[in-house]
A and B are shown apart, each in its own frame.
Chain A
């Protein structure tokens, strides 16, 4: 019976400790800067256009092929009287969040630091009623960065890129 008494005392000691669980939907834990939810595109606030030039690097590197990228000529390029130095710019971009496995490879291969993993809670709480709603289009992917709602963290890759 000594062991049983010991178990009972152990549970009693946890009885007196503070709960370790969080009241989740009301209380969110602070996410670290490197937290990876789903990828989203970044907005170049200086020139007021996306960083992404639609170069297909991420699309080709994606192991689960969840991205679709289309590029176009930049209407805001210097040659046509604009302010941007980007000759090509992203036209359409879809990421299927249902397929994405959050491996960070798209961020690593991007030459323009135009894509980052969402490190806010909006990236984690993405449940929808229909899985086709998880296919994000360009506007959705850019909106957070455009509004300045995320603090992007693009890893400094150790000589891989």
Chain B
């Protein structure tokens, strides 16, 4: 009936341009919405505003210099991005990472996952329309984690701390105590978010049943991470192909069942709790002293010719690094498999047919980092 009436009045669809300078495009993403009244009929995404050629730049640098650029591809979870890269280099060079360094890497990566998820909670909360409160909640917890990172690595976001073979330098002596302190504050932060959102009727009405994607479609789009798990696919690289010491850790893979915006939110909230558990186990198992680098490291790392693909579970999904070497001290080719880019593909599928306000929520629930999409 609606369509018939529309023909009678000769209506026109409206194109509105969302981004790259829009409060809720999470960076410099741009999408053009074709709307009919309040309903979205089409979504045309435009990416590339933040393209810096990070992969190509890495090909002109030696392995250590590349770390700084990897940090910048995924600025909300730089440790996870670094991890994929250094693991790829290690696999090529055949380096054995000392046990203690692996534990430290794991703790830092999980903490980084937590800080990234908190960032998601904050930004997503603002998308749903709460004025700033979730943002400050998320920021508050993230700040504690970042302060810890700063004490260890010296930088707040671009750590450049993982090195092929291990770590750049040892952690501070009060590392374990500080991590426990941060975990305590995180637990409070999770409780705050749970109270603010999970049962709130308006939040539930806004998010449940919105932006649905089925498990089959999600797999077809190559989605990964919490966005995929929310559709009920228990894919987690940490569980499927344990790297670092994940095999020795007992944790659950959180899945949703409905594949809507609420599940994507709720998966992340539960993953926060799961990460806290992982870190507690790591702290118990991590040795207090020990080497953080292999015994014999060359001054300039060279790798034998070969190629390797390493994937790890970053906060937004599978962060893969494909590295080709033809010998020498720099990559011949480096390709980053970004989870955000694949997840973003499903934007159209999820938001067509929804309301404009829902399209914003769907975009928020994918949790994109534009520097990772564009690289």
Contact = CB atoms under 8 A, between A and B. Distances in A.
A binds B: yes
Interface of A: 1-4, 6-7, 9-11, 13-14, 20, 31-32, 34-36, 61, 63, 101-105, 108, 117, 119, 155-161
A63 B68 contact: yes
A20 B154 contact: no
A61 B166 contact: no
A63 B137 contact: no
B192 to A, nearest CB: 6
A161 B155 contact: no
A23 to B, nearest CB: 15
Contacts of A108: 168
B166 A158 contact: yes
Interface residues of B, number: 46
Q: Which of A1, A34, A159 has the most CB of B within 10 A?
A: A159
Contacts, number: 100
Interface stretch (B13-21, B193-201, B273-281): B193-201
B241 to A, nearest CB: 28
Given A156-B170, A159-B295, A160-B163, 14 more contacts: A3-B200, A6-B199, A7-B200, A13-B192, A20-B140, A34-B172, A35-B154, A101-B72, A103-B158, A158-B170, A158-B292, A158-B293, A160-B293, A160-B297
A119 B156 CA distance: 13
B35 to A, nearest CB: 30
15 contacts: A4-B201, A10-B192, A20-B136, A34-B151, A63-B68, A102-B155, A103-B65, A103-B160, A104-B168, A119-B154, A158-B166, A158-B170, A158-B293, A158-B297, A160-B297
B154 A7 contact: no
Leading 9 A-B pairs by shortest Cβ distance: A3-B199, A158-B293, A10-B195, A63-B65, A103-B68, A36-B154, A34-B154, A155-B169, A3-B200
A10 B292 CA distance: 43
B299 interface: yes
B13 to A, nearest CB: 36
Contact of B153 (A13, A34, A101): A34
Interface in B67-84: 67-69, 72
A63 to B, nearest CB: 4
Nearest to A10: B195
A14 B188 CA distance: 11
A63 B201 CA distance: 51
A6 B143 contact: no
Interface in B264-312: 291-293, 295-297, 299
Contacts of B158: 101-103
B133 interface: yes
A29 to B, nearest CB: 8
B337 interface: no
Nearest to B199: A3
B146 to A, nearest CB: 11
A3 B154 CA distance: 41
Contacts of A14: 133, 137, 192
B197 A7 contact: yes
B202 interface: yes
A6 B291 contact: no
Contacts of A32: 150-151, 154
A20 B196 contact: no
Nearest to B163: A160
Contacts of A61: 65
B199 A104 contact: no
Nearest to A32: B151
Interface string B141-159: 0010000001111110010
Given A3-B199, A20-B143, A102-B158, A159 B297 contact: yes
Nearest to B72: A101
A105 B140 CA distance: 31
B293 A6 contact: no
A3 B204 contact: yes
